[in-house]
């Protein structure tokens, strides 16, 4: 099994890459964001997409759109086109009422 983990330098990505890398007969590669070098997914069985701009104070809307939306769409279409399984996860932020007093 050959797996690509995006966001492999983040907390969840590092742990996922390490866990999957311990599985017998699995080859696991990590990918961390680079604006001009998006991964070629053709040689993989699975892509686990964990990478994103998670900083809620980020003010560069273009950066967030390219890294979070455009890149995710790219992975979806490329995986679909080449018959690669895609596992998408988003777990960095929980939204809710931000006006409540924190204790």
pLDDT of res. 54: 83
| Per-residue model confidence (pLDDT) at position 25 | 95
Residues of the chain falling short of pLDDT 70? 90-103
| pTM (predicted TM-score) | 0.84
pLDDT score at 102: 54
| Pairs from 37-45 (Cβ < 8 Å, separation ≥ 24) | 38/71, 38/74, 39/4, 39/6, 40/78, 41/4, 41/75, 41/78, 41/79, 41/82, 41/84, 42/78, 42/82, 42/84, 43/2, 44/2, 44/3, 44/4, 44/84, 45/1, 45/2, 45/3, 45/84, 45/85
């Amino acid at each position: 099994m050959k797996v690509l983990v995006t966001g492999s330098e983040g907390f969840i990505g590092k742990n996922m890459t390490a866990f999957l890398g311990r599985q017998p007969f699995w080859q696991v590669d990590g990918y961390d964001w680079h604006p001009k070098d998006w991964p070629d997914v053709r040689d993989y069985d699975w892509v686990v997409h964990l990478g994103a701009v998670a900083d809620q104070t980020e003010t560069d809307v273009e950066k967030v759109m390219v890294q979070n939306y455009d890149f995710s769409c790219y992975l979806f279409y490329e995986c679909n086109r080449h018959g690669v399984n895609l596992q998408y996860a988003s777990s960095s932020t929980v939204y809710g009422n931000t006006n409540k007093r924190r204790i």
